[in-house]
Amino acid sequence: MRFYATIWLFLLSFFLSLLPRNAEANDFSSFLTANASLAVVVDQEYMQRRGENILANFQKILSDTIRENLKNGGIEVKYFSWSQIRLKKDFLAAMTVTDCKSTWQFYESTQQTSILLIAITDANCPRLPLNRAIMIPIIDEGQELSQIILDIKVQQILRWKTAAVLLDQTILSDNPTLVESVVHESVKNHITPFSLLLYRIDDSLRSQKKRTVIRQMLMNFQDNVQTPRQFIVLSKFYEDIVEIAASLKLFHVYNQWLFFVLNEELRNYDAVSVTQNLEEGANIAFILNATEPTGTSSINCTIAELSMAFVTSISRMIVEEQSIYGEISDEEWEAIRYTKQEKQDEILGYMKDYIRMNSKCASCSHWKIETALTWGKSEEHRRYQTNLELRDTRNRNFEFIDVGYWTPTLGFITHEVMFPHIVHSFRNITMDILTVHSPPWQILERDSRGDIVRHSGITMEILKEMSRMLNFSYILHEVKTNPAELAAEEMQQTSNLTDDLLGSLTFNIPYQVIETMQSSRYFMAALAATIDEPDKKSFNYTVPISVQTYTFIARQPDEVSRIYLFTAPFTTEIWGCLVAIIIITAPVLYFINRLVPMEHLRITGLSTLNSCFWYIYGALLQQGGMYLPKADSGRLVIGVWWIVVIVLVTTYSGNLVAFLTFPQFQPGIDYFFQIFSSKDVRQFGLRNGSYFEKYSTQITTRDDFRDFVQRAIIYNNVQGEDIGAVQDGKRVNVDWRVNLQLIVQRQFEKNKECKFALGRDSFVDEQIGLMVPKKSPYLQLINDQIMHMFRMGFIERWHQINLPSMDKCNGHGGMRQIMNHKVNLDDMQGCFMVLLFGFMIALFVLFVEYWYRWYFVEKKKATFTS
């Protein structure tokens, strides 16, 4: 019993310890019961270096602020002049004035005791984590660049791994710490290293020379493929750099450009006019010096501001606590009141708010960030500004948005990424896509009102995936053929005249599409088009999304007649040899039998040539004869013959099964070069609008292709296709393999047997791509997405879904390839050799028998007679 009681007690205490207990979790007293405690730490050495008694100033300013602004409650302040001090847990917050290194050390110790840190420190100090502390670097006027660069790295405003920094010589000499902060990296402060190329611009050069130097510098970055590059420009001549880089085509979709505009006279600057001549698709952002020249910057001011911020936030929190406390019971209050951590977060938020609103001293230096929205802008403008008279001369492809700003107190405050297109691509804008209904590439389904309700097909799947990857939505515009054609189409549909050929070709692009692409009004045409002489076209093709090949369709050759099936296993030679060995073996047996010296061993049944022949023939059919030779020589002949019989019979019957299982076909047309040699084929057909026609007449050197096109009937519809003639073997048609496969498939479904054969060789690889307007800045981007889809296997999958599978009726083609092996002389020579060898042994044995007879029998006779 004692034992169980102990266990129970133990379990009980264990479970109790698991219960949430506010008293323990929240041991930090509320502002209603205890005053907030603040530690002020000012480093003695630091004070000496600055030659100012900051601690005394701090004391005075802070107590004044508290006295004037804190009406209810109080703050308990302790002052320290030694930065190595370790503060106890009771402190809510600490304010420090010390150098960068000590600040970071102090921050680490406050993290262990969870104290909110408000630090005033040197310039060029990596910022403390923004959600845990406030850090204000004291920056001299005009020296903020290096801190900005450092903040960019600490706050990960740019997620770059590499960048080229172009900067003026004078800026470099004015900011001695600039290079240091540019190359600063540290694991502790989570500054990811990025490799930098530093280019100096000698700004003492005269204008023309300087431009030459800049051009030479930028030429290093020129290449044919659009390699992603990042640039940071710190130069007074940013306008020149923009212009020169634009002429070198360095503003493409993968490059990112960050310009610092340091100009004191901010009014001169106009982002839109700077980028006047840039093309759509550039990624360009500006960090602008928006400093008001009126601000005063001193450490006193900063201290006052921080004290004020702290006191007002404490005051706000006390008021809040009081208002809640009055309304609820003590237990509830215990349950909901803030923990120390929550309180600190709240104070941090309030202080930041205050500084943001009221900051007057340090934040007189203020840098604005603007970034350009360009991707797909021309599309948007076209949609919203159809009234062309409203057009102004400004570059409408560039719209600048405010990303946020930088102040020394708070670092970067941004509400948007610096380069939105790099992260969000097209930012979910709506693009216009041109298309044409053409299964299986583009399949558009319309409802009764004529709106496109569904779209599918290989091209459309690529488009869907691309819109997902590049973050845009799209509107499909089907190309309207002219009204007469539309009416005709309508007529056809109602009268059920299915004149249309199966499948499709992509060589002929409707002229409306070409016209529309020429005016370059669309993002792209989701339209499978044969890539043909891309240099001469008024639009550009993407990389191929598919490769189609041509082949021909012909009548499937008949099976070989089965009348002579039983002779099929052996070649004629073997049959001949078989007859020959029967004819030879019969006399051999006859003579061997006849010549046997012992009369009593001669078999009467084998005494005529005729009976020997039938005997051998019977043995061949495995019908045993009635007698066997009694002499060894004769037996050898018969024995060897039986071996031959076994081999022959087994080979024959085994092979016969194979010939029964796999029917033989008469030779048909398997390859293109056989087309003209076939006697039956008198007509040739070629589908209209095929690339094959152009290829054969203009590109290739193959004469048989050219002959074919010259003699071919170009057909447009089912009547012209005349598939009946093909089935009769009078005609051969050439088309895409997939289209012909459709014909084969349909015929197979109807008759359940295969009447057609496709050529075994495929010729003319026709590459199919999509179309983008000429000079589209997005071509490379689109190509990269397509390549990505290829690598993922998407495109192959969509091909499998949308194109006919190649297995229907392909069986017979395969079967024709199984050529049954006819038994020939090579296979049988061993068997015949055995027979010959047997004969020779028999002959030898015969001689032995003669010798035996002469030696024993004759000798005995001789001795007997003598």
Ligand X SMILES: *[C@@H]1O[C@H](CO)[C@@H](O)[C@H](O)[C@H]1NC(C)=O
Contacts to ligand X by CB under 6 A: 34-35, 57, 60-61, 74, 141-142, 144-145, 262, 264, 289, 291, 293, 298, 300, 424, 427-428, 430, 471, 473, 494-496, 534-535, 537, 540, 774, 779
Supply the minimum distance, in Å, between the C-beta of residue 535 and ligand X: 6
Q: State how far the alpha carbon of 854 is from the alpha carbons of 632, 857, 865, in Å.
A: 17, 6, 15
Q: Pick between residue 362 and residue 726 the one whose CB is nearest to ligand X.
A: 362
Q: Pick between residue 318 and residue 444 the one whose CB is nearest to ligand X.
A: 318
Supply the minimum distance, in Å, between the C-beta of residue 70 and ligand X: 8
Q: Pick between residue 54 and residue 619 the one whose CB is nearest to ligand X.
A: 54
Supply the minimum distance, in Å, between the C-beta of residue 417 and ligand X: 9
Q: Pick between residue 492 and residue 824 the one whose CB is nearest to ligand X.
A: 492
The amino acid present at 739, given as its one-letter code, is: N
Q: Pick between residue 159 and residue 774 the one whose CB is nearest to ligand X.
A: 774
Distance CA 340, CA 24 (A): 12
Supply the minimum distance, in Å, between the C-beta of residue 298 and ligand X: 5
Contact 606, 615 (CB under 8 A): yes
| Beta-strand runs (E) in 397-545 | 399-407, 411-414, 430-435, 443-446, 452-456, 473-478, 524-530, 539-541
Q: Pick between residue 298 and residue 385 the one whose CB is nearest to ligand X.
A: 298
Contact 524, 545 (CB under 8 A): no
Supply the minimum distance, in Å, between the C-beta of residue 174 and ligand X: 8
Supply the minimum distance, in Å, between the C-beta of residue 335 and ligand X: 23
Q: Pick between residue 142 and residue 667 the one whose CB is nearest to ligand X.
A: 142
Q: Pick between residue 300 and residue 481 the one whose CB is nearest to ligand X.
A: 300
- Please state the length of the chain: 866
Angle between helices 458-469 and 779-792 (to 10 degrees): 110
Those residues whose C-beta lies under 8 Å from the C-beta of residue 470, and which sit 6 or more positions away, are 425, 426, 781, 785
**Residue nearest ligand X by beta-carbon distance:** 74
Supply the minimum distance, in Å, between the C-beta of residue 805 and ligand X: 25
Supply the minimum distance, in Å, between the C-beta of residue 266 and ligand X: 7
Residue 80's SS3 state is: strand
Q: Pick between residue 61 and residue 681 the one whose CB is nearest to ligand X.
A: 61
Q: Pick between residue 65 and residue 674 the one whose CB is nearest to ligand X.
A: 65
The amino acid present at 207, given as its one-letter code, is: S
Take residue 96 and report the two structure tokens written for it: 């420090």
Supply the minimum distance, in Å, between the C-beta of residue 480 and ligand X: 24
Supply the minimum distance, in Å, between the C-beta of residue 66 and ligand X: 8
Supply the minimum distance, in Å, between the C-beta of residue 746 and ligand X: 15
Q: Pick between residue 145 and residue 479 the one whose CB is nearest to ligand X.
A: 145
Residue position matching structure tokens 């190329």:
197
Supply the minimum distance, in Å, between the C-beta of residue 27 and ligand X: 16
The amino acid present at 389, given as its one-letter code, is: E
Residue position matching structure tokens 């503060």:
87
Q: Pick between residue 293 and residue 450 the one whose CB is nearest to ligand X.
A: 293
Supply the minimum distance, in Å, between the C-beta of residue 543 and ligand X: 9
Distance CA 582, CA 299 (A): 125
Q: Pick between residue 490 and residue 680 the one whose CB is nearest to ligand X.
A: 490
Residue 738: which of 492, 528, 525, 510 has the closest Cα?
528
Distance CA 536, CA 515 (A): 15
Q: Pick between residue 523 and residue 684 the one whose CB is nearest to ligand X.
A: 523
DSSP labels, 297-349: --HHHHHHHHHHHHHHHHHHHHHHHHHHHTTS-HHHHHHHS--HHHHHHHHHH
Residue 504's SS3 state is: coil
Contact 72, 317 (CB under 8 A): no
39 phi and psi, to 5 degrees?
-105, 135
Q: For residue 793, is it left (φ>0), alpha (ψ between -120 and 50) or beta?
A: left
The amino acid present at 326, given as its one-letter code, is: G
628 bridge partner residues: none
Supply the minimum distance, in Å, between the C-beta of residue 191 and ligand X: 22
198 bridge partner residues: 165
Q: Pick between residue 171 and residue 241 the one whose CB is nearest to ligand X.
A: 171
CA angle 44, 48, 54 (to 5 degrees): 70
Take residue 737 and report the two structure tokens written for it: 């393999």
Chain centroid to Cα 6, Å, comes to 64
Contact 692, 759 (CB under 8 A): no
Contact 772, 582 (CB under 8 A): no
Supply the minimum distance, in Å, between the C-beta of residue 181 and ligand X: 13
Q: State how far the alpha carbon of 450 is from the alpha carbons of 179, 193, 375, 444, 463, in Å.
A: 64, 57, 31, 10, 21
